[in-house]
Amino acid sequence: MSWRLWLKSKPKSVNLGFYGEVNAGKTTLANKIGLDWAEQEVGIVSEIPHETRDIQKLEKVNFSANGTKLDLTLIDMPGIATSVNPKEFMKHGLSASEAMQRAKEATRGIIEAIKYLEQVDVALVIIDASKSPFDQVNFTIIGNLEHQKKPFILVPNKIDLIEADVRLVRDAFSQYPVVPVSAIQGDGIDELYDKIAELAKRVRR
Amino acid sequence: MKYRVDFVPYSETNDLTDDEKIRYILSKVMRNTILVLENGLTPTEEMNLISKTMVKINFNDFVGLRFFSFDGGTDFKLNKLFGRGSKNKVFTVVAPNEAVTVQKDKRGILSIRIND
């Protein structure tokens, strides 16, 4: 095989970043993709906000959809927030010192997630479909991805919940690709894989 | 807690660099001022504001802020508040986290509820 053919047959390496507000289900979705394609989870899921405070990666994820083979690195980012209040964590049963420690780590994690945006090739912007999508964080993330010309998919998550309102998300972000999913139940995941494969074609290596 | 609302015209922040603008915002918001900036933030400035806010959080009297950038469209009347010649159709509201709930609904109405 010539080196050109070999290069063509080699799966393209793509950094897939998971961005979104806190507790939107980024890690749940990253774990679902990790388990589907590499039989590994990316991180721990918790109802306590800011469970993911460090950037977590899963490399060498051999992904294939619609005839497109990719060598994915899943990059699960800490949730982006404009405030971090230790008192919120204490409502979830953490002690004052645990809450303070978590808050300090969370602020550092947010800064790291923002810095890492440049390293991402394709982004999934996860939105909690059971809440109002009009959170400034969503608009700020999308604005920056557009500014940096990064391909991205809006992923309203938790569509299995009765409060989920996908139509509202579609209305709010009508000019962008939207693929609703339930990361926990797997609904919509195949459509998401097709879209990831489609957008990965735009990534230049 | 008493909060002040400042309507900041374009001329006040237009000549500032991105970093100066963020410093200006944080210095005001950390002193319990709610800002309505006629010269709204760009997405890059918004991310910069979030990063700089994280550095400033001290977990006692400042735990962060809330903001919302609003694209009012061509017929948006609030521009009149700032007088004729206003160039921006976008404005940004920035407030101390504990002070307000800033929320936009599906009709595009931006509500700023000042907490007790």
Amino acid letter, residue A181: V
With contact defined as beta carbons under 8 Å apart, do A79 and A120 qualify? no
pLDDT tens, residue by residue, A25-75 = 999 999 999 999 999 998 888 787 888 888 999 999 999 999 899 999 999
Separation between Cα atoms, residue B1 and residue B99, nearest integer Å: 8
What is this model's ipTM? Answer: 0.91
pLDDT for position A16: 97
Q: Provide the percentage of residues in chain A whose pLDDT is more than 90.
A: 72
Cα dist from B60 to A108, B30, B35, B57, whole Å:
17, 12, 21, 8
Name every chain A residue with its beta carbon within 8 A of the beta carbon of B25.
none
Q: Do B51 and A100 touch (CB under 8 A)?
A: no
Span of A152-161, A184-193, B46-55, B85-94 with lowest mean pLDDT: B85-94
* pLDDT value, residue B72: 55
Which residues have CB under 8 Å from A190's CB, separation 6+?
A65
Q: Work out the burial of residue B88: count CB atoms within 10 Å of its CB; fewer than 13 is exposed, 13-18 middle, 19 or more buried.
A: middle
Higher pLDDT, A19 or A51: A19
Amino acid (one-letter) located at B79: N
Q: Which of A8-22, A111-125, A134-148 shows the highest mean pLDDT? A: A111-125
So where are chain A's domains?
A: 11-132+147-200
pLDDT class of A171 with cuts at 50, 70, 90:
confident
Would you say how long chain B is, in residues? 116
Question: Does residue A112 register a pLDDT over 90?
Answer: yes
A161/A181 Cα distance (integer angstroms): 11
Q: Give the pLDDT confidence score for residue B75 in this predicted structure.
A: 44
**Residue in B51, B97, B104 closest to A83 by CB:** B97
Which helix or strand (DSSP H or E) is residue B10 part of? helix B10-13
Distances from the Cα of A127 to the Cα of A18, A108, A134, B103, angstroms: 11, 22, 10, 16
Instruction: Choose the weakest-confidence range: A21-30, A145-154, A188-197, B93-102.
Output: B93-102
pLDDT value for A17: 97
**Whether the predicted pLDDT of A161 surpasses 80:** yes
Q: Do A83 and B42 make contact, defined as CB atoms within 8 angstroms? A: no
CATH number of A11-132+147-200: 3.40.50.300
Phi and psi at residue A53, in whole multiples of 5°?
-115, -10
**pLDDT tens for the 116 residues of chain B, in order:** 788 999 999 999 999 999 999 999 999 999 999 999 998 899 999 999 999 999 999 988 899 999 988 765 544 444 445 444 444 447 888 988 877 776 767 677 777 777 76
Q: Using H for helix, E for strand and C for coil, what is the string for A93-160?
A: CCCHHHHHHHHHHHHHHHHHHHHHHHHCCEEEEEEECCCCCCCHHHHHHHHHHHHCCCCEEEEEECCC
**Mean per-residue pLDDT over chain A, rounded:** 91
* Chain A nearest CA to B38, separation (Å): 17
Question: 3-state DSSP call for residue B68?
Answer: strand
Least confident residue range of A11-20, A49-58, A120-129 = A49-58
Cα separations in angstroms, B107 against A25, A134, B104, B110:
27, 11, 8, 9
Q: In degrees, to the nearest 5, what angle opens at C-alpha A57 toward C-alphas B47 and A60?
A: 130
Kindly determine whether residue A108 and residue B57, on different chains, have CB atoms separated by under 8 Å. Answer: no
pLDDT band at A15 (very low <50, low <70, confident <90, very high): very high
Residue B54: closest C-alpha in chain A: A107
Choice among A120-124, A181-185, A188-192, B90-94 with the minimum mean pLDDT = B90-94
In 3-state terms chain B splits into helix, strand, coil percentages (rounded to 5) of 30, 30, 40
- Count of alpha carbons within 13 Å of A160, Cβ hemisphere only? 10
A6 pLDDT more than 70: no
The whole-angstrom distance between B100's CA and the closest CA on chain A is 12
Residue A5: helix, strand or coil by DSSP? helix
